[in-house]
Structure 1
Amino acid sequence: MTFRNIFLAIGAALAAAAMLAIVQPAQAQSSVRPETVADNLSFPWSVAFLPGGGYLVTERDGLLKLVSEDGGQTVVPGTPEVFGYGQGGLLDIALSPGFESDGTVYLTYSQGSPEGAGTSLFKARLVAEGSGYRLDGGRTIFSGNNRAYGGKHFGSRLAFAPDGTLFMTVGERGDRDRAQDPARHNGSVLRLTAEGLPAPGNPFFAEEGLKPEIWSFGHRNPQGAAINPATGDLWTVEHGARGGDEINIPRAGRNYGWPVISYGRHYSGRKIGVGTSKPGMEQPVHYWDPSIAPSGMVFISGDRYPDWRGDLLVGALKGRHLARLHLEGDAVVSEVKLLEDLRERIRDVRQGPDGYVYILTDSDKGKLIRLLP
């Protein structure tokens, strides 16, 4: 082993020790009281907030719901046809940065084809119709080539960057090796224009044979994405296998290691790849072992929760809690489990324009819940 490789191995071991040390719980936490806004939602996946009040909630079976302040629900027609199997269906929703003037809505979904299902992006305008809304002029503006049969690992979250480009996370569909191939969308973070085209400045924009939409690769199943308001950087959270759930800060052209390196193991108990590190592959900001099955994530701002300002919240599906991560710069220094008494799988977590935190619970009788400080 060369001196350089010894140095890298020691550095990786120290980084791993540091990441394990930071999971000690914070000494103080704010109490919150969950208040149900709406219930009887069918496996809700994502929520967006309308400027005039009310909520748009995606349900995995393909419906988009308008939820009123009093919890009433109506269907918003015009959504794409989804491949509704396993983890597939209607997934994330995001309003355009200029929504108040253009009314544009973006949806991710699992799109079927003879070659299998992949992760796609749909764009439409939300227009008033009677006492509700419908989607008008909808079209699929991007279709991933992460196509496979079966119903797992589609991703997928959306996050608008400060420059107006759109990040989209894409799962590797269980086809592990393709996450290491930038000619495939499997296991990648994409950076797109508002029309679903590759954003100028992407790392593989001019590389023949590689996908110009790709921003970073080597991910497994990233189901959370958020822009850190302190830095403008994208953060993501992704599912590991048996252990090894990760928080990453995806950088242009970087390889995040799956399935060559991981802090987890295969479900069979076998070792994944070469271990926890390899030169040329990035280390996570934070990882969980055992797995919590992370999904939505949000950075907290404003004054509703003074103790939480600047913290990162991550929903846990398997863990059935809300993880509150206290940050110092880009480092996670402590972690607290919240809402364990709910005993609910938490699919999404957002901060609304009113400053309150909202969560979606993942079940056939899912709920939209507001957290009162």
Structure 2
Amino acid sequence: MERISIEQAIRELGKTVRVAGYVHEFRNLGKIKFILLRDQTGIVQVITRDDIELNREDVIDVIGDSVKSDIAKAGVEIKAKRIEIISRVRRKIPVDPAGYVPTDFDTRLKYRFLDLRKAEVRRIFEIKSKIINSYRNSLLKRGFVEIHPSLIIGAASEGGAEVFPVDYFERKAYLAQSPQLYKQMAVIGGLERVFITLPIYRAEKHNTIYHLNEAISLDVEMGFIDDHRDVMRILKTVVLEMLDSVKDMVNIDVGDIKIYSYEEIVKLLNENNVHINIGEDLSKEHERKIYEILGEELYFIEKFPTKIRAFYTMPDDDIYSRSFDLFFRGLEIASGAQRIHDVDMLERALIDRGLKLEDFDFYLEAFRYGVPKHGGFGMGLERFVMQLLRLNNIREAMLFPRDRTRLIP
């Protein structure tokens, strides 16, 4: 007999069903035993007269009749005909899936496989799965192609030092901190619209609730644009469709996504007694204050000073660039821009940042054979999920998070 989910078994009233899962609770009342059986889809009460003893989290397989019940929470219970014990718990459980005993966050992450047995934790990753699939489908139907550039690179993609070195035979290599240079090269090569869903690695010694050293980046690059606003329109569409894909699981109404200039934001902050000079980047304190002032769930800030953006960002004038960030409840979740497409301008930008042209030869070479105007963005999946679900720590949104101190499990 084929095993079905508990959710399905509850609907199969009057039929013999086979279910399997974890013992959520066990009560021995002598001649009759009550078992709360749990799987990914729900909990059902099982009744048996067998001479059996079970512990919470033992794994069992049950065949029985699905019948109406005035006592069981689901209104249905299973009268067992046969119970097979698949596996017994061998040790005291360090994380209580039933939630009766509170567990500190570090212990939860150490025993993540037990933490996942909680419905509220599984829900995070079910929502995350829906979001990433919506992102992918939204772009595919608009003519984008998914690409998979290498995660092992020969030069730091952002030109910084915060990269993880890798032994690559007799050569120096790094884990990719961004697919930026490669997605640009793909567009230059004729794949006019591309997207990526890959991990990125940042060797930043942060220990905050917002940072991970490994995260999933949702990247887009597109050619033949007029300016950064074309990229912003795509990002807005994709984000709204991502939110729509989980509307049955998360209640959120973002309305329109407004656009503010960096200059407007600096003026707004100073008017609200938060001092910031033109040319300074926005701090976390600034971001929180902007959210407090605007009161909007999602908003864009565009045209940041060129000097605080990546070297490949297209200037708009002598001070500002054709760049933007997208904020979700006061936290930056995406960043993008129109890119420099002129090789001479690109070389000057590298030199101005103190970077060596020879480290970027492979990248610069692509700009010597005709380059369309192009731009793109990168969005942090875990940040998106964190803000959507109002999680207290970004590590909640990563199955097995990597931070400054955590390398296992």
**Considering the TM-score relative to the shorter chain, is it more than 0.5?**
no
* Structure ranking higher in helix proportion: 2
TM-score (norm 2): 0.22
Larger Cα Rg: Structure 1 or Structure 2? 2
What is the TM-score with the length of structure 1 in the denominator? 0.24
If asked which structure has higher relative contact order (CA below 8 Å, sep 6+), I would say: 1
Structure number with the higher strand fraction is: 1
